[in-house]
Amino acid sequence: MTQKERRKHARKDVLDTFHVFIAIPKKGSRKIYLKDVSEGGVGLQADPEDDFKSGETFKCEFYINPSLKLPLELKVCRVDPGKVGCELASTAGNAYKAYVAFISLLDQLAEFVD
């Protein structure tokens, strides 16, 4: 079974025009940028000093832009050099609905990207 076949949700690259990032209040105010998103989770561009551990759950602020953020809870599923894969720990509530709407927007805008 390939990695793609195991996925529940298709990944979408985050468009460079969106500077989407998360901030983890308990780890400080550093911006952690995203590599990709899906309805089930996110791929983070991580540095070794971020010290993510597989199985760790944390609350974060998902920033679509500097003034628009969604409170989400993520669970670390995979830690690789330079990248951390996280799944959404909760899919209930308005923040998750807004997150899914953002992913839908990425789909709609993809055809207009140069």
Distance between CA atoms of 24 and 88, rounded to whole angstroms? 14
Give the predicted TM-score (pTM) of the model: 0.82
3-state secondary structure (DSSP) of residue 5? helix
Which of 16-25, 47-56, 102-111 is modeled with the greatest confidence?
47-56
Among 11-20, 23-32, 38-47, 67-76, the least confident range: 11-20
Helix segments in 10-91, DSSP class H: none
- Domains of the chain, by residue range, sit at 3-106
Could you tell me what percent of the chain has a pLDDT over 90?
A: 56
The structure tokens listed for 73 are 């809870």
At the topology level, CATH places domain 3-106 in Thrombin, subunit H (2.40.10)
